[in-house]
Amino acid sequence: MTIEELRAEARAWIAAHRDVAVPAHGAHLPHDHVPGERDRRWLDAARDGGWVCLSWPERYGGRALSELEIIAVNEEFARAGVRRPDLGMGETLVAPALLAHGTPEQKDHFLPRVRSGEDVYCQGFSEPETGSDLARLRTRGTVEDGAVRVTGHKIWTSHGRAANMMFLLCRTDPDAPRHRGLSYVLLPLDGGGVDMRPIRQLTGGSGFCEEFLDGAVAPLFNVIGGVNGGWRVAMTTLGAERAGEITGQYFGYRREFDALLGRLRARDRLGDPDVRRALARAYVRVELMRHTGRRVADEMAAGRDVSALLAIDKINWSEYHCDFGSLALDAQGPAGLLRPPGDGYPVDEFQQVMLGSRGRRIARGTNQIQRDIIAGRVLGLPR
């Protein structure tokens, strides 16, 4: 099948399932979003139609699509204004690690459980004071009696309360060099020894959690890449995280921009030349995301390393989103500060961006770390 045929298939399927489709959100779905019945029906339809786990081998329920083919599918869903469902971190982050480093028995056991929705994962990489330097993590894993007993503290765990499994890194050899002696463990969260606490954020929601692990146990079968072989497995996961949405993310930022434009027009704010100039600058930055995404796709097609481009892109979208959040409130004038009515601490879509975007400078590797990557790999500067 050619890419154009794949695009046509995606368009036809979306058109046939409009009645259950979930409209696309803005640039980022809030971490405290709770899937409703329509979300579940849309996911079931996509699973039955073969639009989840696209890169997986067919024996595990995938379609064995290439990166460029997946980019094409994502673009068609985004152009249609609907969200392509996925199975969360199990599909997008754990599965690439399993497929690259898991044993046949591990793949046969874990991948079907992800695809069926039986296992839902959250990530246990970040720790207090060690989020940007993963090799410094302190969580310990003690191997005994055919299992790994994990003790430590994880933080900034996305979707933690919805998960029953955590993929984490722990130090199983404290005497080994920093990048060695780490193990990549799939830890059940319902087996005891896990105290999960929500973290309330500026937005009023609690989409992140922290976990205190006190002897939580996973069988050695759940160690991917072997004991003390976790670093290379983690790098596979991080590579999948950073490359996953680079061509389709433009559409979300463009939707947010168009929504703000519509609100400012309705409130008669477009006559202000300062507002128009700020909007023009924002529009240019959104278009730069689109072109960067296409450049990454072209580099992937040529088989070239795109890690430096991904670092550049990460800085661009995270800094832009902070600036856009400020613009969205400033351009509305005093009305932008008024919260909508409701119990608790309700915020509207642009207040959500303003408050939530600050953390994006940290997510997927801090911008300081990304600048260091650019300095070394692109500019050739000394350490």
Distance CA 52, CA 96 (A): 14
Residues 6+ apart with CB under 8 A from 127: 137, 138, 139, 152, 153, 154, 155
Distance CA 287, CA 317 (A): 11
* Token representation of residue 127: 């720790």
Cα torsion at 372, 378, 380, 383 (round to 10°)? 10
Distance CA 91, CA 274 (A): 44
Residue 340: helix, strand or coil by DSSP? coil
Residues 6+ apart with CB under 8 A from 121: 88, 89, 90, 93, 94, 114, 163, 165, 166, 167, 186
Q: CA geometry: angle at 201 spanning 82 and 132, to 5°?
A: 85
| Rg, Å, the chain Cα set | 21
Amino acid present at 270: L
Q: Which of 272, 196, 186 is nearest to 234 (CA)?
A: 186
Whether 256 is catalytic is no
Q: Which of 313, 296, 314, 315 is nearest to 305 (CA)?
A: 296
Helix, strand, coil % over all residues of the chain, rounded to 5: 50, 15, 35
Q: CA geometry: angle at 116 spanning 110 and 121, to 5°?
A: 55
> What number of helices (H) and strands (E) belong to the chain?
12, 8
Q: How many residues does the chain have?
A: 383
Q: Are 91 and 53 in contact (CB under 8 A)?
A: yes
**DSSP at 326:** H
Catalytic position from the list 76, 91, 210, 241: 241
Q: Give the catalytic positions in this structure.
A: 241
